[in-house]
Amino acid sequence: MWPGVTQAALRACRMFLRRPGRYLMLVPAECGCPGCEIADDVAIARDALETVLHRLSPRARVELGRVVNRLDAELRRRTLPDPNAWRNPWRAHGRWWHQRLYERQ
């Protein structure tokens, strides 16, 4: 985590959800550095938000939680579950946002 990670993760989620089309497929990050991963892969951005939520004070957690819950609802609605996620150990037991369809695997 670094200063500005919350803003970067929220921006990445919002930009992903602004893409046209009824259903969206997640895009894996091409670069492994944390800043690029968050910007490229909405699941990594969502991981960052989850980490931030656990580190916040109760009041701040509630405020950010409201924003994240709205983004989650839209992310669930606009992405499809991956029926083969169980085959990949790091995705099978991860959070729901890692079990969505990716563009290429």
pLDDT, one tens digit per residue, over 61-97 is 999 999 999 999 999 999 999 998 888 777 766 799 9
Question: To the nearest 5 percent, what fractions of the chain are helix, strand and coil?
Answer: 65, 5, 30
Give the tokens for residue 79: 């992405």
What are the residues whose beta carbons fall under 8 Å from the beta carbon of 37, sequence distance 6 or more? Answer: 29, 31, 44
* pLDDT given at position 13: 98
Query: Taking the model in full, what pTM does it have?
Result: 0.90
Backbone phi, psi, residue 21, to 5°: 110, 150
DSSP 102: B
